[in-house]
Amino acid sequence: MAKVLVIGASGRIGSKIVKEFDKNSEGVEVVLGTHIEEEAEKWRDEGRDAVVFDLNNPAEFPDVLDGVERVFLLTTYTSDMLFQAKMMVDAAKEAGVKHIVHLGVFTSRRDPLPHFVWHDLIESYIATSGIFWTNVHPNVITESILVTNPPITETSSFTSMCDDAPQGWACTDDIAAVAATVLREGPSKHAGKDYYISTEVLKSSEVAKILSEVAGKEIKVNYVDKEQQVANFNQITSAPVRSYMDSAIITMELTKNEKFAAQRVVRDDVMTVVGRPGTTMKDWANKYLNFAN
């Protein structure tokens, strides 16, 4: 029985990996990792194995990794990710972890974007550690754009920061299904593999058309220009978060000007790993968006 640690188990992607394991955890014992004590207590009350730790405190890693054979590595979306990932990989090596499944980005390995380079460096470091590795590379995550506050079902609109440029889309259900399958089946089948998820390429106007068809009413796109993005990000006080968002602005500008070729690629490794096609925008909307007409 392989012990699997899911880092970020209370997050948007990690929580869905947990649901995948609820459906099939054959051959694995799952440990849920979070920085939120209340979440861990809730899981323990449900009879689950849970650990609480801070990714910025490597002193906590040895206890967390005790007996763990496979790790789903998800770091924070800040420049702290470099420190967090290196310290976790070092601790995993010391603890005897056999397999790391890293959640990265849809990289070409030649992208002039700071946070893409950070992911590239992390994956290179994992590869030199001697630990078996698998990288999961989603393109633009559907929920990060379309799950808004207030929700799209109330506002009948969503925001695009890339004008009407084409982008490749990946939903969290597919990311979780791929990650859970790789963690469950292990390195004998998936070591040294890079899996890419970009189910379809759509412009924001095309997304709006699909959502409108599902909703039975018009769904609009609110285009936010660079000046407004900068004004919004200038309110961020955390330096690590700000560094990540400054990189995001570069990403959006390259996408708007159609100079980011990697974002216009269709590649469906959901089929490769899970044996089903990736989720289309229409299927995602039908499943999750309950519009009030």
Predicted confidence (pLDDT) per residue in 144-194, tens digit: 888 888 888 888 999 898 899 999 999 999 999 999 999 999 999 999 999
Q: Measured in whole angstroms, how far is the alpha carbon of residue 117 from the centre of its chain?
A: 16
Predicted confidence (pLDDT) per residue in 195-230, tens digit: 999 999 999 999 999 999 999 999 999 988 877 777
d(CA 202, CA 164): 9
H/E element, 6: strand 2-6
Query: In the prediction, which pLDDT does 291 show?
Result: 66
| Separation in Å, CA 33 to CA 41, 270, 273 | 12, 25, 24
Phi–psi pair at 175, nearest 5 degrees: -60, -45
Confidence of residue 134 (pLDDT cuts 50, 70, 90): very high
For 212, residues 6+ apart whose C-beta sits below 8 A from its C-beta are 218, 219
Confidence of residue 292 (pLDDT cuts 50, 70, 90): low
Does the structure show a pLDDT above 80 at 293? no
Query: In the prediction, which pLDDT does 27 show?
Result: 96
Predicted confidence (pLDDT) per residue in 76-124, tens digit: 999 999 999 999 999 999 999 999 999 999 999 999 999 999 999 999 9
Q: Measured in whole angstroms, how far is the alpha carbon of residue 6 from the centre of its chain?
A: 13
Task: Say how many CA atoms lie within 13 Å of 262 toward its Cβ.
Answer: 19
Structural domains in the chain, sorted by start: 2-138+172-196+265-278 (3.40.50.720)
Cis peptide before 150 (omega within 30 of 0): yes
Q: What pTM did the predictor assign?
A: 0.95
Predicted confidence (pLDDT) per residue in 252-275, tens digit: 888 888 888 878 899 999 999 999
